[in-house]
Each structure stands twice: as C-alpha cells, then as structure tokens.
C-alpha cells in the first residue's frame, strides 16, 4: 500500500513539473515591497540585535520559455537595532544580483515557481556616533512564490514571494564621530528572510492565444 501511494505521489509530482505554465515568455519588469526578518549570526550581530524592518526590490529580466526566466534584481532592507547597543541605531543591507526562476505548473491564472540567485551584498549600521559599512560579499538567494496573471491579455503580474538571502562578511569600515575611520574585523552572517509582494508587467513578443 505504501509503495502504491508513493508511486501515485511521484506520478503527480512529475505531471505538475511537466505541465506548461501560463506563458510568461517575454520582457519582465517589476517592483516589490515587504518585510525583512533578520536571521543573522556573529559576535558583532549579538550586540546589534537587528529587528525586522521594511524591504523593497526591483526586477528586470526575460522569460526565455514559458517556464524559464533569468534577470537582475536589486533591493534593500533595513530596520532598528538594539537600543541597549545604541538607542538610535539602524541596520541595513543592499544587494544586486542575477536570478533564475522556474515556473512549476499551470493552474488557472496563477503559477507557483522556484527561484535561485547570486548577489553581491553589503551590510551597514548607523548610530549616534558611527557609520559602519561592511565589505561586499557574494550571497545566495533561494525561494519561491506564486505569480498571478491579471488583465485582459494577462500581462499584469502580481506575486507573493518568500526567499532566504544569505551572505557572509569578513571585514568593514567604521567612521566614528568624533574619531577616525577604522578598518575592523566583521565576521558575521547577515542572512535575512524576505516576504515580498510584487507588481510586474510582462511584454510578450506574441499575444497569448485567446487573449
């Protein structure tokens, strides 16, 4: 019985993965906004204690087929730090990278997807008497979500996206006020979980049949 159920489940998964997505071939432009949840580690991070905060992102790319997309993403996230460390301190992170996306199946006018990306990330903090900026680090994005296609020609795209962004930094620069600018060790993982809601537009070389 277990073997039979496993076989049925495997067949369903294969059918879903092979199903055509609602055609997203063409040029994609999009904006996103949401919230960032810090999942950071390191000696310096333990003092900073980053809190959740707002996030924003822009995307531009091309759907090469109905299921395969590649493009650029640029975004930032920020939030308050611990008042015990510095009562006016904030943290921030910015990133620019390359993203690949695979749409899983067609289900009416919405399409689940998986995504994977590589980006250059910079972490920073600002406070009462300092500004800190880390070195750039290569980070990884892994996530997924759902695209909703709207409009008479299905060119407007609303998306709900959940992703994990990781980056590991080793050094940084602190500008003290008053005081000097100092190179410091900053061995920290500045990972964040991002929940974004995106609005996009797909320009297709050919209209969808029936639209």
Rounded Cα gap, residues 51 and 28, in angstroms? 32
C-beta of residue 93 within 8 angstroms of C-beta of residue 65: no
Distances (CA, A) of 165 to 37, 87, 143, 202: 10, 27, 9, 25
Is a pLDDT exceeding 80 seen at residue 16?
no
What is the rounded distance in angstroms from the CA atom of residue 173 to the CA atom of residue 86?
18
Q: How distant is the alpha carbon of residue 136 from its chain centre?
A: 17
pLDDT band at 6 (very low <50, low <70, confident <90, very high): very low
How many other CB atoms are found less than 10 A from the CB of residue 13?
Answer: 11
Question: In the predicted model, is pLDDT for residue 121 greater than 70?
Answer: yes
Residue 5 CA to residue 146 CA, distance in Å, equals 27
Looking at the structure, give the CATH architecture of the domain made up of residues 2-203.
Beta Barrel (2.40)
Buried b (16+ CB within 10 A) or exposed e, 37-54: bbebeeebbeebbbeebe
CB 29 within 8 A of CB 199: no
- Report residue 92's pLDDT band, with 50, 70 and 90 as the boundaries: very high
pTM for the model stands at: 0.80
Q: In the chain, pLDDT over 90 holds for what percent of residues?
A: 52
Q: Which pLDDT tens digit goes with each residue over 133-187?
A: 999 999 999 999 999 988 877 789 999 999 999 999 999 998 887 778 888 888 8
Residue 70: the pLDDT is: 96
Of residues 51 and 82, the one with the higher pLDDT is 51
d(C-alpha 160, C-alpha 146), whole Å: 6
Checking if the pLDDT of 106 tops 70, the result is no
Q: What's the rounded Cα separation, in Å, for the pair 70 and 74?
A: 14
Give residue limits of the domains in the chain.
2-203
Alpha carbon distance 141, 47 (integer Å): 26
Is residue 35 within 8 A of residue 57, CB to CB? The reply is: no
Among 5-9, 65-69, 170-174, where is mean pLDDT lowest? 5-9
CA distance 123 to 188: 10
pLDDT tens-digit readout, 23-46 = 467 899 999 999 999 999 888 788
210 against 130, higher pLDDT: 130
Query: Is the CB of residue 119 less than 8 Å from the CB of residue 176?
Result: no
pLDDT above 90: residue 130 = no
Q: pLDDT at position 207, please?
A: 55
Strands (E), the chain: 26-38, 41-42, 53-63, 68-80, 90-103, 110-126, 130-134, 137-150, 156-166, 168-176, 181-189, 192-203
């Amino acid at each position: 019985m277990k073997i039979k159920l496993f076989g049925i489940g495997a067949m369903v998964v294969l059918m879903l993965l092979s199903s055509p997505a609602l055609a997203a071939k063409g040029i994609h432009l999009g904006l996103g906004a949401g919230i960032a949840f810090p999942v950071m580690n390191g000696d310096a991070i333990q003092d900073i204690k980053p809190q959740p905060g707002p996030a924003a992102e822009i995307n531009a790319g091309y759907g090469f087929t109905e299921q395969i997309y590649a493009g650029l993403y640029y975004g930032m996230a920020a939030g308050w730090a611990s008042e015990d460390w510095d009562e006016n301190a904030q943290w921030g992170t910015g990133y620019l990278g390359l993203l690949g996306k695979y749409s899983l199946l067609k289900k009416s006018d919405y399409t689940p997807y998986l995504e994977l990306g590589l980006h250059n990330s910079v972490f920073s903090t600002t406070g009462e008497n300092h500004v800190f900026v880390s070195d750039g680090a290569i980070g990884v994005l892994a996530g997924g979500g759902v695209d909703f296609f709207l409009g008479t020609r299905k060119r407007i795209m609303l998306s709900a996206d959940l992703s994990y962004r990781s980056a590991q930094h080793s050094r940084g620069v602190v500008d003290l006020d008053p005081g000097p600018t100092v190179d410091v060790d900053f061995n920290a993982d500045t990972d964040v979980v991002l929940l974004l809601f995106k609005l996009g537009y797909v320009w297709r070389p050919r209209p969808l049949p029936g639209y």
